[in-house]
Structure 1
Amino acid sequence: MSATKASARLPSMTEVLAVMIGFIAIMFLSINVLGLPIQLALFASWFLVMALGLKLKISYDDMQKGLIDGIHNGMEAVLVLTTVGALIGTWIAGGIVPSIIYYGLMVMNPQIFLFAAFIICALTSLATGTSFGTAGTAGVAMMGIGHSFGIPLPLVAGAVISGAYVGDKMSPLSDTTVMTASLCKVSLVDHIRSMMLVSAPAILIASILFVVVGFFYISGDVDTSRATVAMQALENHFTISPWLLMPAVIVIALLTRRFPAIPVITFGAVLGSLCAWWAQGVGPIDAIRIAYVGNAMHSDVEFLNTLLNRGGIESMLSVVALILFALGLGGLMDRVGILKTISNGFLSWANNPGRLTLSTMLGGFFGNFFGGAAYVSLITASTITEKSYDDQGIDRRVLSRNAEAGGTVTTPMVPWTDGGVFMATTLGVSTMAYLPFLWYHMLVIAISLFYGYANIAIWRTKVDQDSTDQPSPQPASF
């Protein structure tokens, strides 16, 4: 074993580029050409990296250890995701999510429709943690209402997608949020707190823009019957009450108070089951079963069918597999030395927070551009530059924030990514048509870059002055 370690070397930049091109090619062909699951593409990429490792004279046992270590470091994310699945299912069955949507629709006013659509989708995505689910439910309703108001559909789609990605990026229930925190080795709460410094001003400015622009397209006398129909449908199938908002308030409050994510989210799922039993009339055993299988019901209203039939631990199993493959790939790349070689290359140019921020965000964008999925972008954004953050003594919370800004946020901006295809298909508006109106996304990117170059909210790790300026250990994950 020692002889193997002695003879091993770091890969050259040419070798790294060849592997990265092969990795991107596998992702692109698998997802966009062959239509294969991204899990298979990530699994195949393991062997691409292993081939380079064997060329570098690294034993298979060493590479397998790196792979297992990578998975081990992110196992808590898997536990969080299983509890998130239970939470989503029980919150839908308990009427918590329907109540959030219902009270969001109550604020509907033609003069502020775009602002309302943005906020409703933001609240829905924060409550569910999914941009796809938000666009497919509340977003579809907003498109129909906006059409009846005579507003250009690309503008409505911009408001819907902007709101939908608020939760995809910020919600503790979002798989991309949990995955980014795990990949960057920061706690989920610290990751969200860091992103709030960027997202809060972005939400505020985007809200102002949607209010101002809305007045140019909407007259005061328009038909709001579609919003009324949606509210009536929710009332017919659920008990709607402001008290049902309390579980969401409790869970968010406990998470922001830095209580551990797994027990808090599990507690939220228990509250959801109790609400389903007491408020919605679901049998006690069925209310518990929903935590695993998800909520399911049949209605004559298509909107409700799309909204309600989801959630449960079972729905997260494919995402769990994806995260395991992604974490394994990251550990394998680290063991082979790919990340070290790339980091060494970045160090010569990304020698300040501004350039480092730009490098991370470009890594995320190119992951979307070539890999076609948010998960790929988060891998490329986080793993390529993480060593540079450590070497410069910059806290990993800055890395996780920038990875989301370059990865998650740019996903619907690329026409052939999973997000771009889903949004265009679901909302009936092409990616290039709604792209100019993704104001929240553009603001997140702009503010993140501004923070980097202005050295704002760039936290430093403690450095041991007696150990060649190596940063102290990062905060424990979760």
Structure 2
Amino acid sequence: MTKDRRLPTLPEVSFVLISFTLIMYLFVVQFEISIQLALLTTWFLIMLVGLRIGYSYKEMQNGILKGIYDGSEAVLILISVGALIGTWIAGGIVPSIIYYGLSIIHPNIFLLAAFIICAITSIATGTSFGSAGTAGIAMMGIGASFGLPIALVAGAVISGCYVGDKLSPLSDTTVMTASLSKVNLIEHIKSMLVVSGPAFLIAGTLFLISGFIFIDGSGDLSQAESTMSALSDYFNVSWYMIIPAIVVIAMLALKMPSIPVILFGALLGSVWAFLFQGVAPLQAFNILYTGGEIASGVEFIDNLLNRGGITFMLNVIVLILFALGVGGLMEKIGILRVICLKMLAWADNAGKTTLTTIISGFFGNFFGGAAYVSIITASKITEENYDRLNIDRRVLSRNTEAGGTVTTPMVPWSDGGVFMAATLGVSTLAYVPFLWFNFLVVAISIIYGFTNKFIWYTKEKDDHADNQKEAVNL
């Protein structure tokens, strides 16, 4: 007979959170065991608490499956982008972008250029993953050729990619956040602009200054020149190599579904590998799954370009599935809800409410492993506080993106963190200090909350204030 289910107590929640953090530290840092096994171990830890508070194995399994289902679109995008990366390298698309980038972008302004280019790409396509897997890889190659710190280049690339993921009307997270918050999509984007605008300008300025700090004068172009020479020797580099990239960006900009468009772009890469790079037909097609092998003679270029193919993403996919399972379990047995209810009891003004939403979103990424989970935890669990304080839901949707979307690449085991680290070849902990746009979005959102700037209230708030005045006069 099943026991009566209840919400976990605060000590039980604390036990899970502390144990989760300790397991991640011991497995990954202390013993260098795979992060996948760390996440799988936490399944059983959470299940012990679930059994204690009355949940059956079957119910908790359904929680795992629901968590995985909610993040399944991200998994399919990972598979698609993996195939695209492999064929776009083998087809000469990414090498051509790197080659022409090296020839036209000045080293001192490169970080700013990478930030802006990735921002434009992500706004036009609505996908941070697709932008990092295409323009991002090219920017990494250019930045390394200029001798810039690779983690700093990754910071500029990811910062730019998340500008569009947060702002583009084509972004699934933008649409999802507006929908969950019950806010018109365009109004949601307008609300975010008051935060993202200043964050974009400040981050851009920081990347510009950094370029002049790390590169003296005109910069040493010898490495860039050797890279261009190696690329032109190994690949057929021509302007028409970039056609698949233009086609894919145009199709995504026309609001065509991202997964089939990315897969179509991957197929174009195979065609280009066969037509222009001398790859045999069957081998060019097989690169979709296995990726290609590059031997340009320049070590860091080979390290950067020897990636891609569906198999390249398998470890990432397993990690994300386990992380989604953790999130599904925590949501099922009520751990995330208890955390957020405790914060809600404390949040009695706009500043505290903003902070609780951002923390709830980060918890969704930290313990749920995906942007989709973080958007749900940030919006659905804190929305009642906005209504209680008569704060317009545009503020809720804006803060949800600040706590959910932009913090995703900061967590090493989230879908965004794992994808960016694998795709760009830089560990999450290495690039996190340089996610200046992402940190600025969070900081500015909190400042607005506690200073009451750009915090809009509903009409009910005004009516309530008028009624109070009338009561005092009487």
Normalized against structure 1, the TM-score is what? 0.73
Match of 2:312 in 1: 315
C-alpha separation in 2, matches of 1:268 and 1:35: 37
Q: CA deviation at 1:89?
A: 0.6
CA contact (8 A) 2:81 2:129 kept: no
Q: CA deviation at 1:291?
A: 0.4
Q: CA deviation at 1:290?
A: 0.4
Match of 1:4 in 2: 2
- AA aligned opposite 1:242: W
1:19 paired with 2:23, answer no
C-alpha separation in 2, matches of 1:225 and 1:219: 14
Q: CA deviation at 1:199?
A: 5.6
CA contact (8 A) 1:186 1:397 kept: no
- Per mean C-alpha deviation after superposition, the further-off stretch among 88-97 and 297-306 is 297-306
CA contact (8 A) 1:398 1:458 kept: no
Q: Which of 218, 222, 227 lines up with 1:225 in the alignment?
A: 222
SS across alignment from 1:259: coil
Q: Which of 155, 161, 171 lines up with 1:162 in the alignment?
A: 155
C-alpha separation in 2, matches of 1:237 and 1:445: 44
Match of 1:292 in 2: 289
- CA 1:250–1:202 in 2, change beyond 3 Å: closer, same or farther? farther
Task: Give a deviation string over 1:67-89, Cα, whole Å, max 9, x none.
Answer: 22222232232222211111111
- CA 1:4–1:264 in 2, change beyond 3 Å: closer, same or farther? same
Q: CA deviation at 1:317?
A: 1.2
Q: CA deviation at 1:54?
A: 0.9
- AA aligned opposite 2:157: A
1:45 paired with 2:23, answer no
C-alpha separation in 1, matches of 2:256 and 2:216: 47
- Per mean C-alpha deviation after superposition, the further-off stretch among 282-291 and 339-348 is 339-348
SS across alignment from 1:52: helix
Q: Which of 69, 73, 83 lines up with 1:72 in the alignment?
A: 69
1:235 paired with 2:232, answer yes
Match of 1:86 in 2: 83
- AA aligned opposite 2:33: L
C-alpha separation in 1, matches of 2:320 and 2:228: 37
CA contact (8 A) 1:194 1:401 kept: no
Match of 2:469 in 1: none
Q: Which of 134, 140, 146 lines up with 2:144 in the alignment?
A: 140
- CA 1:207–1:283 in 2, change beyond 3 Å: closer, same or farther? same
- CA 1:229–1:119 in 2, change beyond 3 Å: closer, same or farther? farther
SS across alignment from 2:295: coil
Match of 1:358 in 2: 355
Match of 1:343 in 2: 340
1:129 paired with 2:133, answer yes
Q: CA deviation at 1:204?
A: 4.1
CA contact (8 A) 2:362 2:403 kept: no
Match of 1:405 in 2: 406
C-alpha separation in 2, matches of 1:195 and 1:281: 50
SS across alignment from 1:408: helix
Q: Which of 12, 27, 30 lines up with 2:27 in the alignment?
A: 30
Q: CA deviation at 1:209?
A: 3.9
Q: CA deviation at 1:440?
A: 3.5
Q: CA deviation at 1:269?
A: 0.8
C-alpha separation in 1, matches of 2:307 and 2:457: 39
RMSD: 4.6
Q: CA deviation at 1:110?
A: 5.2
CA contact (8 A) 2:154 2:426 kept: no
Aligned residues: 427
Task: Give a deviation string over 1:305-326, Cα, whole Å, max 9, x none.
Answer: 1122110011111121122112
Match of 2:390 in 1: none
CA contact (8 A) 2:402 2:442 kept: no
- CA 1:34–1:212 in 2, change beyond 3 Å: closer, same or farther? closer
CA contact (8 A) 1:86 1:292 kept: yes
Unaligned runs of 5+ in 1: 147-155, 173-177, 461-478
Q: CA deviation at 1:410?
A: 7.4
Aligned residues with identical type, % of pairs = 42
Q: CA deviation at 1:115?
A: 3.5
- CA 1:404–1:57 in 2, change beyond 3 Å: closer, same or farther? same
Q: CA deviation at 1:161?
A: 3.5
CA contact (8 A) 2:114 2:160 kept: no
Matches within 5 A, 1:192-271: 197=193, 202-211=199-208, 220=217, 223-271=220-268
C-alpha separation in 1, matches of 2:72 and 2:111: 40
C-alpha separation in 1, matches of 2:198 and 2:439: 12
CA contact (8 A) 1:291 1:312 kept: yes
Match of 1:96 in 2: 93
- CA 1:37–1:106 in 2, change beyond 3 Å: closer, same or farther? same
- Per mean C-alpha deviation after superposition, the further-off stretch among 243-252 and 161-170 is 161-170
Task: Give a deviation string over 1:377-432, Cα, whole Å, max 9, x none.
Answer: 869855654532454575768534522333424779xxxx999999xx979xx969
CA contact (8 A) 1:125 1:167 kept: no
SS across alignment from 2:403: helix
C-alpha separation in 1, matches of 2:363 and 2:252: 32
- CA 1:185–1:77 in 2, change beyond 3 Å: closer, same or farther? farther
- CA 1:36–1:226 in 2, change beyond 3 Å: closer, same or farther? same
Match of 1:469 in 2: none
Matches within 5 A, 1:394-433: 394=393, 399-409=400-410
C-alpha separation in 2, matches of 1:36 and 1:186: 39
Unaligned runs of 5+ in 2: 122-127, 166-170, 388-392, 459-474
Task: Give a deviation string over 1:321-373, Cα, whole Å, max 9, x none.
Answer: 122112222221122111221222122234666544433544676899xx7xx
Q: CA deviation at 1:141?
A: 2.5
SS across alignment from 2:2: helix
